[in-house]
Structures are given as structure tokens and as C-alpha cells.
A and B are shown apart, each in its own frame.
Chain A
């Protein structure tokens, strides 16, 4: 089955920009979706498709994709953006399986 690889942790100064990447073969066929998870809470969808934000997600969150890599960018990071972020896509095997990325802990300094 496919794997999605993320950097374990990144830090960003308040108000600066941070990019989180997700790599995997399945991303050549499926757009990654991105989820924010704060301690003790369920994950929340922040980006899906080419670069779509659900209602209520600030426009400082954006997504992009190239080849086998998807990226989530937070432009002007806020203290409340400190969280774990997971990417996700279908498996590229064609068996309708799912795979989640390993997760990235974002710390806002």
C-alpha cells in the first residue's frame, strides 16, 4: 500500500509563513486533503482538492500540488494555528483504501 511522508515537526514565528509537505505516490492520482488537529479534539478539514477551503477556514491556509508532493501553506501564522497537521489521500493501488500522512507538529513561536 502507499505511504504519505511528512516532516515530524516545524516551527514558525508568529505572523510568518510556514509550508508543510506531504510526499507519496498516491498524490499523482489524488489530491491531498489536509486536517488540523488540536489536543483532545477531532481533526478538522482545512484544505481539499486543488486549493479549496471549507467554510470557516481562514484564507491564510492554502494548498498546492506538484507530482508526488502536496503542500499546505500557512501565510501569517497565528497562535491558534499551533496544532498537528495530517495529509490524506486514497491509496494508489486502486483498491479504494485510505492512507494518512505521518503528521506534522506545527509550533508557533
Chain B
């Protein structure tokens, strides 16, 4: 059974750097996309970015200038750093595993997040 366990600082001051790590237990690290997703209080889900086992990344354009996602395949872990945080970055942050493959016919592709971490509430306050 795959489990994602995440941790990191829950209280930050404005301008500090958010840092979270997600460890993957019980499954292969390769062949998947590993994402960070956040949810501000009372609002919807926002994708932050992803990394694959070889270190290739994709980021949400709205956050790209402040985000770094890295991977440590020796530990089956991936990490998120978000710099220069403000109160607008207050949210529950989730790590998640995504799988993608081609389908026959239209639509052409299947993509989904099958495992999620437990979530970490990060509050930015002075």
C-alpha cells in the first residue's frame, strides 16, 4: 500500500521560505509525477508544480518565480520550497502522486492523482 507522509514548518513570517518534504512509502518512485497542491482556507485546490523521478519539473506559471521542487530518489522523497511567502500563501499544502497514460479514442490521455499526503497547514503571519 502506497503512503505519502509529509512534514515541514507550519508557521512562517512574511518573506521567509516555505519548506516541505514528502516521503513515499510502499511503491516505486519512477514512472510517476510527484506534485504539490495547496488549498487556502475555504477555497479550492491549486496545483503548485510537479517533478518526476529524473528531476524534470513543471510549475504553475503564477508561482514559478518563487517555487523549487526537488527530488531525492535515494530516499524516495521530494520537496517543495516557496520563497518570499506572504499571507496569501497561507494554505493546506498536499503532496500527491500522479499517473498518466494514453487512451484509445478521444479524449486521448488519462491523468489522475491516486495517492495524497495528509496535508500540512502552513500559516504566514507576522
Measured in the bound complex, the distance between the Cα atoms of B100 and A95 in whole Å is: 14
Q: Does A28 contact B (CB under 8 A)?
A: yes
**Are the CB atoms of B110 and A103 closer together than 8 Å?**
no
Q: How many residues of A contact B (CB 8 A)?
A: 30
Nearest chain A residue, comparing its CB with the CB of B47: A98
Contact of A65 among B35, B107, B117 (CB under 8 A): B107
| Count of CB-CB pairs between chains A and B under 8 Å | 77
Q: Does A71 contact B (CB under 8 A)?
A: no
**Are the CB atoms of B58 and A96 closer together than 8 Å?**
yes
Q: A97-B60, A98-B35, A98-B50 are in contact. Are A33 and B45 (CB under 8 A)?
A: no
Q: A1-B61, A88-B113 are in contact. Are A103 and B107 (CB under 8 A)?
A: no
Measured in the bound complex, the distance between the Cα atoms of B45 and A50 in whole Å is: 23
Measured in the bound complex, the distance between the Cα atoms of B112 and A97 in whole Å is: 13
Q: Does A100 contact B (CB under 8 A)?
A: yes
Chain B 72-110 residues near chain A, CB threshold 8 A = 94, 100, 103, 106-110
**Are the CB atoms of B114 and A28 closer together than 8 Å?**
no
Measured in the bound complex, the distance between the Cα atoms of B25 and A64 in whole Å is: 32
Q: A42-B117, A103-B44 are in contact. Are A90 and B109 (CB under 8 A)?
A: yes
Q: Which residues of B contact A45 (CB under 8 A)?
A: 112-114
Name 30 interchain pairs, CB-CB below 8 A, sorted by A.
Answer: A29-B107, A29-B108, A29-B109, A30-B111, A31-B107, A31-B111, A35-B113, A42-B94, A42-B116, A42-B119, A43-B113, A44-B116, A45-B114, A49-B110, A50-B110, A86-B44, A88-B111, A88-B112, A88-B113, A90-B109, A90-B111, A97-B47, A97-B58, A98-B35, A98-B47, A100-B46, A100-B47, A101-B44, A102-B44, A103-B44
B residues in contact (CB < 8 Å) with A: 35, 37, 44-47, 50, 58, 60-61, 94, 100, 103, 106-114, 116-119
A residues in contact (CB < 8 Å) with B: 1, 27-31, 33, 35, 42-45, 48-50, 54, 65, 86, 88-90, 95-103
